[in-house]
């Protein structure tokens, strides 16, 4: 028996998307909060408290948002699965012709398309229709709990770096340490995400670092302006 051992990049999409997004958001949002509050001449305990609160709130928000979003996708998939199951039970011949028509559009002649439809439906009729009619398969299926856990954990893992910087450094050195460390880690994560997705390492690193620098610069400016007026 020939075993298929290839692993394709698309198999990583579910967990990779949630993890990379969570880590990037954790670093960027927490670092921006810390830099903004530090620029407003706040005390170190206030800055540290802001960072910890941002870490906890952000992780919970990411988990809840990802769960709700992916659950909606899962609900849609389940509804489609139930509809296809009913149609197969009520009118299997129409479903057979529908599947064969899909294969004809992909280049098979009519006789072969019907033969393929018959064999696939004999093996797994619902699976064949979910995959070839609706584009839903096991690799791409929605997993709400997995996505929520990956998002929360990766956010917390990313956010812990600027929080540690706020714990170690004080004054102007704090802003510099948080900014430099966060931008470096954002660039590394951007490169890793690009690598996992088969894209350019430099492009992935630069685009994440650019938006990170922009966000931290904006919050630092707002914090500075607020600090001089309050």
Query: What is 158-187 written as a DSSP string?
Result: HHHHHHHHHHH--HHHHHHHHHHHHHHHHH
Task: Look up tokens 């479903």; give the residue.
Answer: 95
4 found inside a domain: no
213 found inside a domain: yes
pLDDT tens, residue by residue, 86-132: 878 878 888 888 888 888 888 888 888 888 888 888 887 777 878 77
| Total tally of structural domains belonging to the chain | 1
* pTM for the full predicted model: 0.67
What is the spatial distance between Cα 10 and Cα 172, in angstroms, rounded to a whole number?
Answer: 44
pLDDT tens, residue by residue, 177-209: 998 999 898 888 888 777 766 677 788 788 888
74 found inside a domain: yes
38 found inside a domain: yes
In the DSSP assignment, the letter for residue 2 is: -
What is the spatial distance between Cα 212 and Cα 170, in angstroms, rounded to a whole number?
Answer: 22
Domain that includes residue 97, residue range: 9-229
129 found inside a domain: yes
- Residue 22's nearest CA partner among 70, 65, 71, 68 is 65
């Amino acid at each position: 028996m020939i075993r298929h051992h290839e692993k394709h990049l698309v198999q990583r999409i579910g967990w990779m998307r949630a993890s990379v997004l969570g880590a990037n958001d954790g670093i960027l949002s927490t670092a921006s909060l810390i830099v903004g509050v530090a620029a407003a001449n706040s005390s170190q305990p206030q800055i540290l408290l802001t960072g910890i609160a941002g870490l906890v709130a952000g992780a919970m928000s990411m988990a809840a948002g990802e769960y709700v979003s992916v659950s909606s996708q899962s609900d849609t998939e389940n509804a489609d699965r139930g509809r296809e199951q009913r149609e197969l039970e009520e009118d299997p011949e129409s479903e057979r012709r529908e599947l064969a028509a899909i294969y004809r559009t992909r280049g098979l002649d009519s006789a072969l398309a019907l033969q393929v439809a018959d064999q696939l439906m004999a093996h797994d009729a619902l699976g064949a229709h979910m995959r070839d009619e609706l584009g839903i398969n096991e690799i791409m299926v929605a997993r709400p709990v997995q996505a929520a856990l990956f998002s929360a954990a990766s956010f917390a893992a990313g956010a812990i770096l600027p929080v540690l910087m706020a714990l170690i450094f004080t004054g102007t050195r704090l802003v510099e340490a948080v900014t430099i460390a966060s931008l470096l880690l954002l660039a590394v994560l951007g490169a890793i995400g690009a690598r996992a997705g088969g894209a350019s390492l430099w492009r992935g690193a630069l685009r994440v670092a650019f938006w990170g620098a922009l966000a931290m610069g904006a919050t630092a400016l707002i914090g500075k302006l607020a600090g001089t007026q309050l």
